[in-house]
Structure 1
């Protein structure tokens, strides 16, 4: 049965599409796009019930993100990234949850998680300094998750390296305007963030090692809902890849609309061209396979967590492998149909070119780099235990 939020996401997609050009020109989501996403409740799918959320199945979250991205790639991306943050906040101290959502459960949280700052221990917490890139949707958020390395007494990363995710209010960081000038996903407004000595109390932090383990984090937080027992490196990539696959589905829809009545320069009707129709069906099958593989992977982990079965590193590695592959397969399919859309497809008034640009920029995210995930998955299936960098982001 389709979740109500997924149904609402479907209904707003055409309206988001109507604002997609404005969103791109603004370099952030249009105010109408923000309103539509808020009212649909996409950002609250993974939020805990006591703050108006659904603690939903992650497959429902993935499908809602895809529906949004079909209409507007930037809106889908912001939902895919930002929609995971309520899931992680549910694993932190209830005090910070109350600070963020106590007055307004529709408060949005930004990131990034790249450890581009140093958190130096101080009495009762940490002092944070750093410069982060790629804070998607940050103009619409009042709080932020940031990745950091724990520092030593000199303010440098301590050894052995230990990572934190920390939570800050808008008053404690600076958004760097004019720091997002890109060829795709322009409307995500993924700007730079500066922090210059903000104090972070202990209760607004969580160790990266803790959140990676899934069930242990849920137990510490007193969370019984299955979704909070899943590992971070299954949930965070899910939102991002869902956006890319949704963008690919939007590209396919745009291609179908464009090709239906198109006549080539040679006077041939495309809908009577067997080669063009073959390419459409092949691309559609590849994109559908990407969606199915992504949803199946996270659903398998959810079922394991729900049954009380441990989620092993091999389980995580295989799901990450398939998640990465699904993104690459979907974007390759977009390339195939874009290449068969004729010269006029590159004009700004043809929406397919925006989907094509957005898809490729989405593929550039670090979680879509195949090397580490593929190598780790192969080693685990040989019965070996990858170590060091091969365990990163898995």
Structure 2
């Protein structure tokens, strides 16, 4: 991180309000829109954009106070992402990935945070949570080897959280974990060539014999009570999955913004007046707006419902969590539907690469393919749970979960 960024972070140490942070994000939208096409072509977010996010204080929103952060509610982070996504989906996606990990440190051994931020609390951390590689327990910790794919924004990170299965002596998975690896222990493979979210720079990380001490590892699914502050008592999958949904809400709102801008001035090719007079142009807009507003409201209500538990020092019960997971996963589908509704009304003009609508559509489709947006399996999980069937282990905990457990 350059000196200018460090100097600016010193100025922004005192915590701003939620409204101030949201306004800072909104003020960046014109710049992000201007750079969006170039970000896609470069297949990565420029350092200048990451610096703008640093200078705005966005990476401190979830960062523990003991490491220079503001440890605010995840809802603040989500609202910032919803604004940034309107400007550039790829840049907002990087902000989401590189900014959510600060929350993760709230449940880790403090030594892990000291390892990363002991000398510079602006250091960023990338990730790849799917258990792609091999994890072997050795004396004092774990040895990691393999290729971890889709590490968004990895060019800007000095560390990375990598997912892996912890197994027993018979090779049976007993826990799904996150392992914190230093940049010295992995190489970046530029294999990110996609039709959507191309600018996120989600390349692969090649890891060879990376040693991870015990204090840099934690379970992603073993949701247990602790004395950590309330804002770190949320379940990991809820906080992370909902952050993905928040970015998608922003992307879809960006599609609405662009559609309104284009349709206000567009004239019909038949010469019979403004396109905005068409009932179909108006109908599609209204139906897109209600889909995105509904997704946004549900997402924020979900985290507010969870606050009622964590603010009392309690864990979010499984009965709530299983509903929340579908609240989160449905966002991608609804936002995808909203942008597609609008895109179809742009007709042939919408397919030109110079038209931002086609890029927004591609980015929303790609984002909605993220595993966190799997509404099919998640709906089935909720339905089965309500009908008395068990949620399998390794989802909400190390053991199966059933509705009878809530009795």
> Normalization by structure 2: what TM-score?
0.89
Distance (Å, rounded) in 2 between the aligned partners of 1:390 and 1:229: 17
**Alignment match, 2:74:** 58
For residue 388 of structure 1, report the CA deviation from its aligned partner: 4.4
- TM-score with structure 1 length normalisation? 0.92
Q: Does 2:157 match 1:141?
A: yes
> In structure 1, what is the Cα distance between the partners aligned to 2:397 and 2:326?
13
Quote the offset at 1:354 in angstroms.
1.1
Quote how far apart the aligned CAs of 1:182 are.
Answer: 0.5
Say whether the 8 Å CA contact 1:286–1:329 is kept in structure 2. yes
Displacement of 1:4 after TM fit? 2.4
Instruction: State whether structure 2 residue 215 is matched by structure 1 residue 234.
Output: no
Distance 1:26 1:203, change over 3 A: same
Aligned to 1:254: 258
Mapped to 2, the partners of 1:99 and 1:275 lie a distance apart of 57
1:351 is aligned to: 356
| Distance apart, 1:326 and its partner CA | 2.1
**What residue number does 2:9 align with?**
none
Write the mapping of 1:119-130 to structure 2, written as runs, cut at 5 A. 119-130=135-146
Contact 1:173–1:195 (Cα < 8 Å) also in 2: yes
Partner of 2:86: 70
Could you tell me which residue of structure 1 aligns to residue 185 of structure 2?
172
How many residue pairs were aligned? 382
Aligned partner of 1:29 among 25, 45, 51: 45
Distance 1:185 1:204 in 2: 30
For 2:31 and 2:312, locate their aligned partners in 1 and report how far apart those are by CA, in whole Å. 40
> Are 1:138 and 1:190, in contact at CA under 8 Å, matched by a contact in 2?
yes
Contact 1:13 1:72 in 2 (8 A): yes
Q: Which of 198, 202, 215 lines up with 2:210 in the alignment?
A: 198
User: Cα distance, 1:189 vs. partner?
Assistant: 0.2
Aligned residue runs from structure 1 range 149-164, under 5 A: 149-150=165-166, 158-164=171-177
User: In structure 1, the residue corresponding to 2:28 is in which secondary structure?
Assistant: helix
In 2, are the aligned partners of 1:135 and 1:190 still within 8 Å (CA)? yes
Q: Provide runs of 4+ in structure 1 moved above 6 Å.
A: none
Q: 1:293: which partner in 2?
A: 298
Runs (5+) with no aligned partner, structure 1? none
Instruction: Name the SS of the counterpart of 2:128 in structure 1.
Output: coil
Structure 2 Cα separation of the partners of residues 391 and 43 of structure 1: 28
Q: Residues 240 and 354 (structure 1 numbering): CA distance in 2 closer, same or farther, change over 3 Å?
A: same
SS at match of 1:146: strand
Deviation (angstroms), 1:114? 0.5
What is the DSSP-based 3-state SS (H/G/I as helix, E as strand, rest coil) of the residue aligned with 1:158?
Answer: coil
Q: Which residue of 2 aligns with 1:185?
A: 197
**Contact 2:221–2:236 (8 Å) recurs in 1:** no
Residue 133 of structure 2 aligns to a residue whose secondary structure is: strand
What CA RMSD, in Å, does the superposition of the two structures yield over aligned residues? 2.0
Q: 1:314, CA displacement in angstroms?
A: 2.0
